Amino acid sequence: MSLFDDFRKTTRDAGAEYRRSSSYSTVGIQIAVAFLLFVFGGYKLDDAFSTSPLFVVIGALAAVTAMFVVLMRFLSPPQRSSQTDTPTPPK
């Protein structure tokens, strides 16, 4: 086994690890964006209507709900449809 073969194997293993970890980073980004959007939206609504913590609290609760939904979708097993994607041709 040459040095080049070792490098190729290491690169291939790193690519597989990257693909596996990309779903975790996607969930993290979705959670962060949901939290920031809902809380920032609540802050802006509070500023517009002169209500101090009301919409920030509502936004935070909505963000927690959105985070819960994202985590449940990530942790639940994939749903299998009863139909196949490609129909089999008749004989």
> What is the reported pLDDT for 19?
78
Longest dimension (CA), the chain: 71
Summarize pLDDT for 8-56 with one digit per residue, the tens: 767 777 777 777 788 888 899 999 999 999 999 999 999 999 998 999 9
Q: Report residue 86's pLDDT band, with 50, 70 and 90 as the boundaries.
A: low
* Selected residue with higher pLDDT from 41 and 3: 41
pTM above 0.75, yes or no: no
Q: In a 3-state reduction of DSSP, which class is residue 70?
A: helix
What angle, rounded to 10 degrees, do the helices at 54-75 and 3-49 form?
Answer: 150
